[in-house]
Amino acid sequence: MANFDLMRRLTLDKGGKIILLVMDGVGGLPREQGGPTELEAAHTPNLDRLAREGSSGLSIPVARGVAPGSGPAHLALFGYDPLVYEIGRGVLEATGIGLQVNPGDVAIRGNFCTVDENGIITDRRAGRISTEEGAKRIEVLKDITLPGVEIDIEIAKEYRFAMVLRGAGLNGAIADTDPQQTGVPPLPAKALDPAAEKTAGLVNQWLAEARARLKGHEPANMATLRGFAMEPGLPKYGDVYKLKAACVAVYPMYKGVAGLVGMDVIPTSAHDTTADEFEHVARIWNDYDFVFCHIKYTDSRGEDGDFDAKVKVIEDVDEALPRLLDLNPDVLIVTGDHSTPATYRAHSWHPVPTLLWAPATHMTDRAQAYGERECIMGALGQFPAPDLMPMALAHAKRLQKFGA
């Protein structure tokens, strides 16, 4: 029985309330042999108390040895096996810059490129123009129209943009138009499935119009499209978990993935601090069973390779934590979507320190603090990340007994 069939069968539509606090990339490594990790180095009296009282463990996002991107890593935390449920690249890119992707929509990644007078690509990235220059070209393309289709298009970064097509009968089974080399013209959009012929035709119409409008806008005088993908139709939180769920996050991509699984996305400002995010959680707390709260900067500082700055982000979270505890959640989970050790400067595969605090039902173990080595000794053991949601539901008394 697939995980969700079991959940649909066992979940109750009442029970305790759950906070899932995700410090992105929280897991780390010692800076020097024998030294502490970022999490171990941070002064975190609140988190350490929760670890002493509750259960600790290590979560494996996708599979042992596999470093995940943010999309699959969050899907896993939300209970979706990321090897079964994949979000297409176009959808990730579009949601990542805040475009809405709804069922039936086709989302696409785009690159500005340079073509010569014969239409041959001379630079696949248009000289890596600035985001500002990219945004100017988007303005040129914004009012292209296609029959029966609504188009959303936004700059992502530099020469990259994202586009969402909305309309009846669209299909995303279309091959990339980026030929992945220079010296050849861009490819026409080609349907990979007969059902996508109509959409491919519309895309080619858009490309012709884009070429005409970008003429003279060198070096970004043409565009290629790739990563065509439909809204993935993921099972929704309300359906499989019977949870009214909300997302408090600052970065669009996490809002996007949360939206795809059926969470309500709470408006935030790009400048919100951790304390601000916790205020948002407090504000909406009465209206939801489950709140996912996402802290971005642990990952960012890890990717920067800045060990001390990552420690500081963790300490800020710990300092702000009483605001969440004051809400008296029945279950509070603190974890990461993956590890981002500052020494590694990238997402890694190391299992993620995880803390489950649920005073009515948690097993107290010997972990004395929230940190990698304490988690090794924890009651949760090492577990696949998609097992976290069933554990959260169980501790919230939202799962029936299986069988008689």
Kindly state the helix (H) or strand (E) to which residue 131 belongs, with its residue range: helix 131-141
Please answer whether residues 332 and 50 qualify as being in contact, where contact means their C-beta atoms are separated by less than 8 angstroms: yes
Residue number, 293 or 391, with CB nearest to a second copy: 391
Report the Cα–Cα distance between both ends of the chain, in Å, rounded. Answer: 17
Residue number, 70 or 298, with CB nearest to a second copy: 70
Backbone φ and ψ of 359, nearest 5°:
-50, -30
Least separation, in Å, of the C-beta of 120 and a second copy?
A: 29
CB environment 121-151: b (16+ within 10 A), e (fewer): bbbbbbbebeeebbeebbeebeebebeebeb
Residue number, 1 or 212, with CB nearest to a second copy: 1
Least separation, in Å, of the C-beta of 315 and a second copy?
A: 22
Residue number, 18 or 207, with CB nearest to a second copy: 18
Q: Which residues bind a second copy (CB under 8 A)?
A: 1, 3, 6, 10, 29-30, 33-34, 53, 58, 62-73, 82-84, 86-87, 89, 92-93, 341, 343-344, 346-351, 359, 361, 363-366, 372-373, 376-379, 381-383, 387, 389-395, 399, 401-404
Least separation, in Å, of the C-beta of 139 and a second copy?
A: 26
Tokens of 404: 């008689």
Distance CA 287, CA 246 (A): 9
Residue number, 71 or 235, with CB nearest to a second copy: 71
The DSSP secondary-structure symbol of 196 reads G
Tokens of 197: 């012929």
Least separation, in Å, of the C-beta of 58 and a second copy?
A: 7
Least separation, in Å, of the C-beta of 1 and a second copy?
A: 5
Least separation, in Å, of the C-beta of 181 and a second copy?
A: 20
CB environment 287-302: b (16+ within 10 A), e (fewer): ebbbbbbbbbbbbbbb
Residue number, 280 or 398, with CB nearest to a second copy: 398
Least separation, in Å, of the C-beta of 381 and a second copy?
A: 4
Residue number, 171 or 348, with CB nearest to a second copy: 348
Distance CA 338, CA 346 (A): 10
**One-character DSSP codes across 339-384:** B--TTTTS-B-SPEEEEEE-TTTPPP-S--SSSHHHHHTSTTEEEE
Please answer whether residues 357 and 43 qualify as being in contact, where contact means their C-beta atoms are separated by less than 8 angstroms: no
Backbone φ and ψ of 308, nearest 5°:
-65, -40
Residue number, 256 or 262, with CB nearest to a second copy: 256
Least separation, in Å, of the C-beta of 350 and a second copy?
A: 6
Least separation, in Å, of the C-beta of 365 and a second copy?
A: 6
Kindly state the helix (H) or strand (E) to which residue 115 belongs, with its residue range: strand 106-115
Residue number, 145 or 400, with CB nearest to a second copy: 400
What angle (nearest 5°) sits at the alpha carbon of residue 224, between those of residues 222 and 226?
165
Distance CA 329, CA 227 (A): 40
